[in-house]
Every structure is written in C-alpha cells, then in structure tokens.
Amino acid sequence: MLSLDVRFPSPLYIDEEVEAEVEAVRVRGRRAVLQLTCRKTSDREEVVRGQAKLLLETEQEEEEEEEDSE
C-alpha cells in the first residue's frame, strides 16, 4: 500500500451492521486508486469514506510469494 486516507464522518456503535464498498477508480500500470465507503445498513448513513493508493503485484511476484508460504 502506498497511502491510505480515511475519514469518519459519522459515529458507528457496537453491534451496528455496516456494508462496505470498494471501487477501483483508476488503474495505470502497476498503480491503482481505490475508493472506500462504509454505510450503516439500518439507514445508509456513511460512517467511513476514504481512498487507498496501491502498488499492484506482478504475476511473478504473486507466484513467488505463494511458493515462500508453502
């Protein structure tokens, strides 16, 4: 992960259920930008909003990681 920017516009309390949504808004080469949103299932109020910037793995890196974990 290159960066993560998260905001909490509304409170969330214990036992409240949420729905999470992640959308890839831009992918260029090995870099991706994801938009993150969490809403209460009861009233759809937004409780988390943010953006993550990622450096994606190549297939070779992913295969090497799998081999290392075996």
Per-residue pLDDT tens digits for 39-65: 999 999 999 999 999 999 888 777 777
pTM: 0.77
pLDDT tens digits, 2-38: 999 999 999 999 999 999 999 999 999 999 999 999 9
Residue 69 binned pLDDT confidence (cut-offs 50, 70, 90): confident
Provide the 10 A C-beta neighbour count for residue 6: 11
User: Could you give the domains of the chain?
Assistant: 3-58 (3.10.129.10)
Question: What confidence score (pLDDT) does residue 49 get?
Answer: 98
- Output the pLDDT for position 70: 78
**CA-to-CA distance for 53 and 70, rounded, in angstroms?**
29
